[in-house]
């Protein structure tokens, strides 16, 4: 029996990076997975194959988390097909390699719309189903950039700090309905997002980080599985740092 045997999960941004690793590891642990993606049909198909290779059901939807009507429709269809929604992982996010002095209003709005409004767009319809079933687990992906002074983009750090506030406040309300809400403050992982960071910073990170390297997406997914499992029954409103022992 896996940690998530029989569970039904939604993972946003599941076609690449940490999202794909979450889909595969959650499926390995027994969950049926639904995920959304926004760009590559080929990558999404590869994620579906990985999920199905573990004998689990896979549902994929090409819809942006910024598309509120599209997301509402997606969640409704997932609930109809799965019968319930046990787990939501808000993973989808974008970054732009901007200095604040040169950040445009368009770049600011794009990051906020995806990283902050996107969490609202997905969580609100899922939360309603979880309230009705009086159970559920929500895991939000934040960043160490939200809590430490790092040379990352201001809009990205601000959006990820909002994720922490969202997590802590919602967790108190959700607990009365049998729903837990937690977050991971992720360090620097080997993904497209980290590739957008300055090369000098990535080199310095190898010195700052006790592990001496960027994390692998699978390493984060392995910890996330425990966080959303029934074995983690008493944690609520927490933000857990997973960063390889980075020092700033």
Residues annotated as catalytic (active site), given as ranges: 156
Report which secondary-structure segment, H or E, holds 69.
Answer: helix 68-82
Sign of the torsion formed by the C-alpha atoms of 190, 106, 142 and 179: negative
Q: In Å, what is the CA distance from 21 to each residue of 52, 70, 118, 127, 192? A: 14, 24, 20, 24, 13
Sign of the torsion formed by the C-alpha atoms of 165, 238, 13 and 133: negative
Task: Report yes or no: 34 and 1 within 8 Å, Cβ to Cβ.
Answer: no
Q: What token pair was written down for 117?
A: 């409004």
Task: Provide the 3-class DSSP secondary structure of residue 128.
Answer: helix
List residues bridging with 241 in a β-sheet.
185
The distance of Cα 136 from the centroid of its chain, to the nearest Å, equals 16
List residues bridging with 37 in a β-sheet.
62
């Amino acid at each position: 029996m896996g940690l998530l045997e029989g569970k039904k999960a939604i993972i946003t941004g599941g076609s690449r990076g940490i999202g794909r690793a979450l889909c595969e590891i959650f499926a390995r642990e027994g969950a049926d997975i639904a995920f959304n993606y926004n760009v590559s049909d080929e990558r999404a198909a590869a994620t579906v194959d990985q999920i199905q290779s573990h004998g689990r059901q896979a549902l994929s939807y090409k819809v942006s988390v910024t598309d509120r009507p599209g997301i509402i429709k997606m969640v409704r269809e997932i609930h109809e097909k799965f019968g319930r929604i046990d787990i939501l992982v808000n993973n989808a996010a974008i970054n732009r390699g901007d200095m604040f002095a040169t950040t445009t209003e368009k770049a600011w709005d794009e990051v906020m719309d995806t990283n902050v409004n996107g969490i609202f767009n997905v969580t609100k319809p899922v939360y309603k189903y979880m309230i009705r079933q009086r159970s559920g687990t929500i895991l939000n992906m934040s960043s160490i950039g939200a809590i430490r002074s790092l040379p990352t983009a201001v809009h990205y750090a601000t959006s990820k700090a909002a994720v922490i506030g969202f997590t802590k406040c919602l967790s108190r309300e959700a607990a009365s309905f049998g729903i837990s809400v937690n977050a991971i403050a992720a360090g620097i992982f080997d993904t497209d997002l980290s590739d957008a960071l300055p090369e000098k910073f990535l080199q310095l990170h190898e010195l700052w980080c006790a592990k001496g390297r960027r994390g692998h997406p699978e390493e984060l997914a392995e910890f996330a599985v425990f966080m959303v499992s029934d074995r983690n029954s008493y944690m609520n409103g927490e933000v857990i740092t997973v960063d390889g022992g980075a020092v700033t």
